[in-house]
Chains A and B, each alone.
Chain A
Amino acid sequence: MATLFEKIWDNHLVREETAGQSTLLYIDRHYIHEVTSPQAFSGLRETGRKVRRPDLTVAVMDHNVPTSDRTLPIKDEIARRQIEQLAKNCQEFDVPLLDLHHPDQGIVHIIGPELGLTQPGMTIVCGDSHTSTHGAFGSLAFGIGTSEVEHVLATQTLWQARPKTMEVRFVGSRPFGTTAKDMILALIRQIGIAGATGHVIEYTGAAVTALSMEERMTLCNMSIEAGARAGMVSPDHVTIDYLQSRPYVPQGAQFESARKQWLELATDPGSVFDRVVEVDIRQLAPMVTWGTNPEMSAPITESVPDPALETDPDRADTMRRALAYMGLTPGIPLNQIPVQRVFVGSCTNGRLDDLRRAASIIKGQRVAAGVRAMVVPGSGRVKRSAEEEGLDSVFKDAGFEWREPGCSMCLGMNEDILEPGERAASTSNRNFEGRQGRGGRTHLVSPEMAAAAAITGHLVDVRALGLEVRS
């Protein structure tokens, strides 16, 4: 009897933990992007080391790339240097690269799964905290720093202390008009942004099995926002169906044998976790954040909370600081907060399914006056498929900008940023101070809620619009 995590962990021990030393874990897949890798490659160069397994490594340009016309040169000199450096490094060390002009370029956590490079049972790392996304496939996927990127490049292994396990069991089924984004925001609100520190989460319950792969990725993506090392879902027929048609997944008889192994990875009934948390979602409503970290959220039906009612002085102080930054007064209904910007995209909600959901709200509507709204598809594939379905026209006709793939306004490393004081409804994952631009104010929401905010000009309960909402 073992959990999914235990099976993967035990299967990747190059060297078991000893008294004085942690575990040496083998890494099956290493994703790389331009921002957290240059210093790692310099390290290899300085020590004369090689990339041990370029054939298990994939690089992509995503964080820093412009989302405007790519036939034009990159204006930002330092950004251009970083992007070119990745190309140079990949060439010198033989690492496969999806560059700016590759048709499948996109956000690292979107391209891995959609190309089938992410598969169940793998250990997956990337110099990026949202690597937890890949856990949706039943892999053990976590973010690392640049020194560890260099370590994996050189050795294909990592020293790891065994994390604790946590089952997050969703109780009840997801009510109409709510999404995986609302489920994960509800969890983070319940346990806090450090609530899962030191743990690997496995999401369970009928509401999780009912989710599509895209939705499971949204769920696992934000595990790090609860402080978790990783988030995962046991593989099942939904996983298999998604993988079947992916370009780099084994085909034919090989697929059949892989399928069997993948399904066997699922947590055995009766397995024991170090901790179990139940999240009751029977009354779940669309969530929005009101503060400056992802635990500061509330159902859209509520009001901005009052720090005066908070009994813990440190928490009250943190709330006051957050509300001052956000320019919000306690007591105002959340659905009256005006927004000037709307962002649909990121590794949390930049997949085709997310775009379809947003488009279903937008169709035939107009972006409210004074709102600038943009869609940044998560990858070239997402963008092409969306265009084949005509989603680009739905967005453009409504007044949305339709841009090239990348991280974009999720972290605002390129020119897609909020101006000081500007307020955004954003489908991304972090509402930290300055995350989307200095002085910018971020409200995290689902794609449906972002779409609803775009057409009304304020945060609003998408269920109250009388529009068609996919359940």
Chain B
Amino acid sequence: MNPFTTHTGMVAPLRRSNVDTDQIIPKQFLKRIERTGFGQFLFYDWRFNENGLPNSDFVLNQPPYNHATILIAGPNFGCGSSREHAPWALMDFGFRVIIAPSFADIFYNNCFQNGLLPLTLEDPDINRLFDLTTRSREWALTVNLEEQTVKSADGQFESHFDIHPERREKLLRGLDPIGETLLFTSAIGAYEKYHAVPLVPSSL
């Protein structure tokens, strides 16, 4: 996983609550066995009409929002299905940061596994961001994970965000989580010695 330290990019507003992972990446695109190539299907049912043509009403089809790398959304973003295809699709489309008042647990966790930063801000900050990005489309933010700040170049917005130190550390260093855990192999082995688990027969 690539480390995440700072990111500067254009912002797109998605003013909806409870955006579920079925919307982020609809089920018909979950059949691929790779981690890549999901960006073209991001928000498919919202981005494309039934005839497959782009829906010009949808924010990510409106230039320059289609080049945004930071997404702002309403509360409980990423609820529903556990599909990690959701962060894969967001990243493949170009997003590096999602800002929302709150996230659903599994999605939140999945983002960190992929170096996508889910960042929570309070409602007043979110509302100001919605206003600012809607008013001026070519509007960029800089997210600094080390300092835990979000700032706009024009000085109109500045805020601090909270993040669990362990999560922050892992993103900053871009660690291979499995490699890290394997350092504890002997502890896992020791645990297994006294903890018996009913086995699954090898042929069911």
Measured CB to CB, the residues of A under 8 A from B are: 11-12, 14-15, 20-22, 24, 26, 28-29, 35-36, 38-39, 42-43, 47, 49, 52, 54-58, 63-64, 76, 78-79, 81-82, 85, 94, 96-98, 102, 104, 115, 117, 119, 122, 127-129, 143-148, 150-151, 154-157, 159, 161, 193-194, 197-198, 224, 227, 229, 248-250, 293, 314, 318, 321, 411-413, 420, 430, 432-435, 438-439
B200 near A248 with CB under 8 A, answer: yes
A22 near B166 with CB under 8 A, answer: yes
For A432, list chain B residues within 8 Å (CB).
20, 22-23, 80
For A430, list chain B residues within 8 Å (CB).
20, 22, 80-81
Task: Determine if B75 is an interface residue (Cβ-Cβ < 8 Å).
Answer: yes
Task: Determine if B201 is an interface residue (Cβ-Cβ < 8 Å).
Answer: yes
A151-B177, A154-B182 as given contacts; A145 in contact with B199, CB under 8 Å: no
- State A434–B177 Cα separation when bound (angstroms): 34
B178 near A154 with CB under 8 A, answer: yes
B199 near A197 with CB under 8 A, answer: no
Q: Which residue on B lies nearest to A15, using beta carbons?
A: B187
For B82, list chain A residues within 8 Å (CB).
36, 127-129, 143-145
* Shortest CB distance B132–A (Å): 18
* Shortest CB distance B108–A (Å): 9
- State A224–B22 Cα separation when bound (angstroms): 14
Q: Which among A20, A56, A144, A150 is the interface contact of B199 at CB below 8 angstroms?
A: A56
- State A453–B166 Cα separation when bound (angstroms): 51
* Shortest CB distance A297–B (Å): 14
Measured CB to CB, the residues of B under 8 A from A are: 16-18, 20, 22-23, 26-28, 30-35, 45, 50, 74-76, 79-84, 87, 102, 104-106, 109-110, 113-114, 164-166, 169, 177-178, 181-182, 184-185, 187-188, 191-192, 195, 197-204
For A76, list chain B residues within 8 Å (CB).
31
For B109, list chain A residues within 8 Å (CB).
144-145, 148
Q: Which residue on B lies nearest to A154, using beta carbons?
A: B178
* Shortest CB distance B89–A (Å): 13
A438 near B178 with CB under 8 A, answer: no
B165 near A20 with CB under 8 A, answer: yes
A147-B110, A151-B177, A157-B188 as given contacts; A39 in contact with B45, CB under 8 Å: no
Chain A binding site: helix, strand, loop or mixed by DSSP?
Answer: loop
Q: Which residue on A lies nearest to B34, using beta carbons?
A: A39
Pairs A–B under 8 Å by Cβ, sample size 24: A14-B191, A20-B169, A26-B195, A35-B83, A39-B84, A42-B34, A43-B178, A47-B178, A52-B188, A64-B31, A97-B204, A102-B204, A127-B82, A147-B177, A148-B109, A154-B182, A155-B182, A155-B185, A197-B102, A413-B27, A413-B28, A434-B23, A435-B22, A435-B27
- State A97–B200 Cα separation when bound (angstroms): 10
Q: Which among B166, B169, B178, B204 is the interface contact of A58 at CB below 8 angstroms?
A: B204
Q: Give 10 A-B pairs besides A57-B200, A411-B81, A413-B27 with Cβ atoms closer than 8 angstroms.
A: A24-B188, A26-B191, A129-B80, A144-B106, A145-B84, A145-B109, A193-B79, A314-B74, A318-B16, A413-B31
* Shortest CB distance B165–A (Å): 6
A156-B188, A430-B22 as given contacts; A21 in contact with B200, CB under 8 Å: no
For A38, list chain B residues within 8 Å (CB).
33-34
Q: Which residue on B lies nearest to A57, using beta carbons?
A: B200
For B20, list chain A residues within 8 Å (CB).
293, 430, 432
B27 near A411 with CB under 8 A, answer: yes
- State A78–B79 Cα separation when bound (angstroms): 26
Q: Which residue on A lies nearest to B48, using beta carbons?
A: A438
B178 near A439 with CB under 8 A, answer: no
- State A281–B90 Cα separation when bound (angstroms): 41
A56 near B200 with CB under 8 A, answer: yes
A146 near B84 with CB under 8 A, answer: yes
A38-B33, A293-B20, A420-B50 as given contacts; A198 in contact with B105, CB under 8 Å: yes
- State A43–B178 Cα separation when bound (angstroms): 10
* Shortest CB distance B50–A (Å): 6
- State A430–B27 Cα separation when bound (angstroms): 13
Q: Which residue on A lies nearest to B195, using beta carbons?
A: A26
Q: Which among B50, B165, B197 is the interface contact of A122 at CB below 8 angstroms?
A: B197
A194 near B80 with CB under 8 A, answer: no
- State A84–B77 Cα separation when bound (angstroms): 33
B166 near A21 with CB under 8 A, answer: yes
Q: Which among B17, B30, B200 is the interface contact of A314 at CB below 8 angstroms?
A: B17
Q: Which residue on A lies nearest to B36, using beta carbons?
A: A39
For A439, list chain B residues within 8 Å (CB).
50
For B102, list chain A residues within 8 Å (CB).
194, 197
For B191, list chain A residues within 8 Å (CB).
14, 26
For A119, list chain B residues within 8 Å (CB).
198
* Shortest CB distance A54–B (Å): 8
B75 near A194 with CB under 8 A, answer: yes
B188 near A194 with CB under 8 A, answer: no
For B198, list chain A residues within 8 Å (CB).
119, 248-250
Q: Which residue on B lies nearest to A27, using beta carbons?
A: B197
Q: Which among A21, A35, A156, A412 is the interface contact of B31 at CB below 8 angstroms?
A: A35
For A129, list chain B residues within 8 Å (CB).
80-82, 106
For A39, list chain B residues within 8 Å (CB).
33-35, 84
* Shortest CB distance B43–A (Å): 11
B30 near A58 with CB under 8 A, answer: no
For B80, list chain A residues within 8 Å (CB).
129, 224, 430, 432
For B32, list chain A residues within 8 Å (CB).
78, 82
For B201, list chain A residues within 8 Å (CB).
96, 248
Q: Which residue on B lies nearest to A77, using beta carbons?
A: B31
* Shortest CB distance B42–A (Å): 14
For A42, list chain B residues within 8 Å (CB).
33-35
- State A432–B23 Cα separation when bound (angstroms): 8
B50 near A438 with CB under 8 A, answer: yes
Q: Which among A24, A43, A104, A193 is the interface contact of B18 at CB below 8 angstroms?
A: A193
For B188, list chain A residues within 8 Å (CB).
14, 24, 26, 52, 155-157
For A197, list chain B residues within 8 Å (CB).
76, 102, 104-105
A194 near B23 with CB under 8 A, answer: no
A129-B81, A194-B102, A432-B20 as given contacts; A148 in contact with B200, CB under 8 Å: no
